Amino acid sequence: MNRRTAMAFLLLLGLAFGLPAGAARRGWFVECAAGFAALAPSDLNARLEAQQERVEFLYRDGYEALQLISGGAFSYVLEEAEGSALRGLHGGFPMALRIGRVLGARVSLFAGLEFLGRQRTSWLRQTFRINDLRPDQVTVPGAYIVETGFPEYFLSARAWVPQLGVIVDVFRNRSWTGGVRMAVGPMFARVRTLESQHYRKTDADGYWQEWQQVVDMRGNGGGMTADAMARLELALSWRLGLQIEGGYALRRGSGFSGPGLYEYQYRDMNAARDPVKNRWQGEWRTQRMELQREWGRLAYALSGNDLGGAADAGSFRLDLSGWRLSLGLALAL
């Protein structure tokens, strides 16, 4: 390698990955970042939480009440639950790409696109072993087994966020800068709930009956976003910087609507009935509901696009807001 070639190679290497010569950006720049967001979309999680409460109330609480008032004629044993239990969406991992332009010594403008997606599948199965010797029952007194639960419960939320914003450098050093990043923009989001529920009863003589139903609901909606982030950028070279950001991101969407599907199948050891299937298009809403039985009352909130035109149903909101911490790279062009 001759001297000119070696000098040219060293010059190119220095331009790309040279020693820090200050963290200030000049001209155009590109940033990419990923991190963790502490989020918990309460309206989207509401249906899962409500269904878990309903099962607990209708079966375990109901059997407990019968055991207390039967004078020993009714008893039950709940086996250890199988599965992961029903779990909602908590936390997310946003990814962002931004391109910007330095306007002055401390101010830059940028346009960016963020994607935030979170999904979770969980399942639960409970088995009750029951001994019912009450004489006033329609069925023959004796022992039987009840199995109930959710073979699959799927939740999903996705959001695409284009933004415009400003970066202001408040503190500056030769090798680092500290400042703030603020941005606003629209949010385009999708949600989905897939709920599979199963019930099976097996008598002592072996006769069994069961049903299974599936509710699959999807929706598209939109909203507005706003970011307020504190940021620290460390100069790795003349062109490359390492960014650390922390702050709060507002992500709220509404106006969700989309298709829904309901399937129901009943069968016993002798035959199976024709399955029931319904499809619809509906607006996502949240409704306060109440379940009344002899042993008590359960109040809960149910969300979905299958609530119809109930007068007391409120609007559904996808809230992906939360505190965030992210790590990224910035490259001067």
In terms of residue numbers, what domain contains 200?
A: 40-314
Is 96 a domain residue?
Answer: yes
Amino acid identity, position 223: G
Given the DSSP bridges, would you call strands 82-83 and 142-172 parallel, antiparallel or unpaired? unpaired
What's the structural domain count of the chain?
1
What is the 3-state secondary structure of 55-103? HHHHHHHHHHHHHHHCCCCEEEEECCCEECCCCCCCCECCEEEEEEEEC
Tokens 């609480």 -> residue: 61
Question: Which residues pair with residue 2 across a beta bridge?
Answer: none
The verdict on residue 95 lying in a domain is yes
- The answer as to whether 32 is a domain residue is no
Tokens of 187: 């949010």
Within a domain: residue 299? yes
- pLDDT, residue 19, reads 37
Confidence at residue 105, expressed as pLDDT on a 0 to 100 scale: 83
In a domain, 331, yes or no: no
User: Residue 326 domain-assigned?
Assistant: no
Does residue 58 fall inside a structural domain? yes
Please identify which residue in the block is written with the tokens 């390492």. Answer: 242
72-77: long-range contacts at Cβ-Cβ below 8 A with a sequence spacing of 24 or more?
73/132, 73/133, 73/134, 73/135, 74/130, 74/131, 74/132, 74/133, 74/134, 75/130, 75/131, 76/128, 76/129, 76/130, 76/131, 77/128, 77/129
H-only helix segments in 225-282? none
Residue 173 inside a domain? The answer is yes
How does pLDDT run along the chain (333 residues), one tens digit per residue?
454 544 444 333 343 333 343 444 568 999 999 999 999 999 999 989 999 999 999 999 999 999 998 888 999 999 988 888 889 999 999 999 999 999 988 999 999 999 999 999 999 999 999 998 887 666 667 899 999 999 999 999 999 999 999 999 999 888 899 999 999 999 999 999 999 999 999 998 889 999 999 999 999 999 999 999 999 999 998 889 999 999 999 999 999 999 999 999 999 999 888 899 999 999 999 888 888 999 999 998 888 988 755 555 688 999 999 999 999 999 998
